[in-house]
């Protein structure tokens, strides 16, 4: 009788767990490199968050301090909250007028940018016609053209059109300034949407206009929200264009008001009012990003996920 000799199993060695699908032994634990990279990435994120959040919190805290406390104890919490800093900046520094002008200009320019940009992007993404790529690359070229090179001719163009020192003229310039990136972004987004839905709408008798506004535009909502946030941030913080094209005191926007508030102090040094005005200009931007941060991430990753 033949017997097979089997070596005794080592009692101290345990077999590695095997996955059910592939039969390959599963890894017991993460490698040391993976753990090191994970700690490093989390540490960099924490450092970056600290560098971003701390100046914002310090500006908000300083806006409630008295002027003497800003220099004597800049990192200490205010003993009492000086809400008069905000009221003084809102009324005496005319921040209310600048805030209203900014809301009007950014509101109308944002609506115009998104309407015209999404319509142009839809045509460029969905229809083939002679000159399609040429028009698309013209918009791309507009992204690489420095705005500072166009300030002098733009000034004379607005002057000849009698739009200089007017809010409608500033709205039109903001729209033209934001269109290239909007068309570039939305063209790529419309190309990711399924064509079967639009074809079904055409079969049901819908026109191109109805298909765009009632079918394709709602499907592109994540992309619209993402690019709207970027355009809102850029237009709200714009300083160069209104400085050159809008010099009237009654038509100045918020960024110009902050500069005027800092310059007009002279030897007085109303630092508490200046920080209050700075926080006023900063709050709408923070609120918009906090409210729509999930939609921004979804819009940026929608093309990759599709």
User: Using 50, 70 and 90 to split pLDDT, how confident is the model at 2?
Assistant: very low
Structure tokens given for 56? 């914002």
| DSSP-derived 3-state class of residue 18 | strand
Q: Average pLDDT of 293-301?
A: 67
Q: Mind listing the pLDDT tens digit for each residue in 49-83?
A: 889 889 889 999 999 998 888 888 888 888 888 88
Burial 138-150 (b: 16+ CB within 10 A, else e): ebeebeeeeeeee
Structure tokens given for 191? 């190309």
Answer yes or no: is pLDDT of 206 > 80: yes
Residue with tokens 């990753």: 301
Q: Which helix (H) or strand (E) holds 118?
A: helix 95-126
Q: Residues near 85 by Cβ (< 8 Å), separated by ≥ 6? A: 63, 64, 65, 272, 273, 275, 276
Spatial separation of the C-alpha atoms in residues 186 and 190, rounded to whole Å: 6
Q: Which domains does the chain have, with CATH numbers?
A: 84-305 (1.10.3720.10)
Structure tokens given for 52? 């971003």
In angstroms, how far apart are the furthest CA atoms of the chain? 112
Spatial separation of the C-alpha atoms in residues 185 and 119, rounded to whole Å: 12
% residues pLDDT > 90 (the chain): 30
Answer yes or no: is pLDDT of 275 > 80: yes
Spatial separation of the C-alpha atoms in residues 215 and 197, rounded to whole Å: 8
Question: What pLDDT score was predicted for residue 267?
Answer: 58
Spatial separation of the C-alpha atoms in residues 180 and 163, rounded to whole Å: 22
Q: Mind listing the pLDDT tens digit for each residue in 137-147?
A: 999 988 888 88
Q: Mind listing the pLDDT tens digit for each residue in 119-130?
A: 999 999 989 899
Question: What pLDDT score was predicted for residue 74?
Answer: 84
pTM: 0.78
Q: Mind listing the pLDDT tens digit for each residue in 79-115?
A: 888 888 888 888 877 888 899 999 999 999 999 999 9
The residues that bridge with 25 in the sheet, in sequence order, are: 18
Spatial separation of the C-alpha atoms in residues 256 and 250, rounded to whole Å: 11
Structure tokens given for 26? 């599963």
Answer yes or no: is pLDDT of 224 > 60: yes
Answer yes or no: is pLDDT of 178 > 90: yes
Alpha-carbon distance values, 87 to 64, 96, 196, 259, 279 (Å): 11, 10, 56, 18, 13
Alpha-carbon distance values, 274 to 30, 53, 66, 93, 283 (Å): 52, 19, 12, 9, 14
Contact 154, 245 (CB under 8 A): yes
Spatial separation of the C-alpha atoms in residues 261 and 66, rounded to whole Å: 17
The residues that bridge with 18 in the sheet, in sequence order, are: 25
Answer yes or no: is pLDDT of 256 > 80: yes
Q: Mind listing the pLDDT tens digit for each residue in 29-45?
A: 556 777 777 888 888 98
Contact 132, 183 (CB under 8 A): no
Answer yes or no: is pLDDT of 1 > 50: no
Question: What pLDDT score was predicted for residue 298?
Answer: 65
Question: What pLDDT score was predicted for residue 118?
Answer: 94
Question: What pLDDT score was predicted for residue 3?
Answer: 47
Residue 18 main-chain phi, psi, to 5 deg: -110, 135
Q: Is 122 exposed, middle or buried (0-12, 13-18, 19+ CB in 10 A)?
A: buried
Q: How high does pLDDT run on average in the chain?
A: 83
Residue with tokens 């003084």: 88
- Cα-Cα end-to-end distance for the chain: 66
């Amino acid at each position: 009788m033949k017997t097979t000799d089997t070596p005794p199993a080592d009692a101290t060695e345990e077999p590695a767990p095997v996955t059910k699908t592939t039969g390959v032994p599963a890894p017991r634990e993460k490698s040391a490199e993976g753990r090191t990279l994970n700690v490093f990435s989390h540490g960099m994120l924490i450092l970056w968050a600290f560098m971003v959040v701390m100046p914002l919190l310090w500006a908000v805290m300083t806006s409630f301090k008295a002027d003497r406390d800003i220099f004597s104890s800049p990192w200490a919490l205010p003993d009492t909250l000086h809400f008069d800093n905000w009221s003084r900046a809102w009324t005496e520094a005319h921040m209310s007028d600048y805030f209203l002008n900014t809301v009007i200009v950014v509101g109308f320019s944002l609506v115009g940018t998104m309407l015209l940009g999404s319509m142009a992007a839809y045509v460029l993404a969905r229809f083939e016609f002679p000159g399609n790529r040429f028009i698309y690359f013209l918009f791309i070229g507009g992204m690489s053209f420095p705005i500072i090179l166009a300030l002098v001719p733009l000034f004379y163009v607005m002057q000849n059109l009698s739009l200089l020192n007017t809010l409608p003229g500033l709205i039109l310039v903001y729209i033209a300034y934001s269109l290239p990136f909007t068309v570039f972004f939305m063209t790529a987004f419309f190309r990711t949407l399924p064509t079967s839905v639009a074809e079904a709408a055409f079969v049901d008798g819908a026109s191109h206009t109805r298909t765009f506004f009632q079918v394709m535009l709602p499907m592109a909502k994540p992309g619209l929200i993402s690019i709207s946030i970027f355009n809102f941030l850029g237009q709200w913080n714009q300083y160069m264009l209104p400085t050159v094209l809008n010099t009237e005191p009654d038509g100045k926007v918020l960024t110009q008001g902050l500069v005027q508030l800092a310059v007009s102090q002279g030897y007085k040094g109303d630092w508490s009012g200046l920080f209050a005005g700075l926080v006023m200009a900063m709050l709408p931007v923070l609120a918009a990003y906090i409210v729509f941060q999930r939609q921004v991430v979804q819009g940026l990753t929608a093309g990759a996920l599709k």
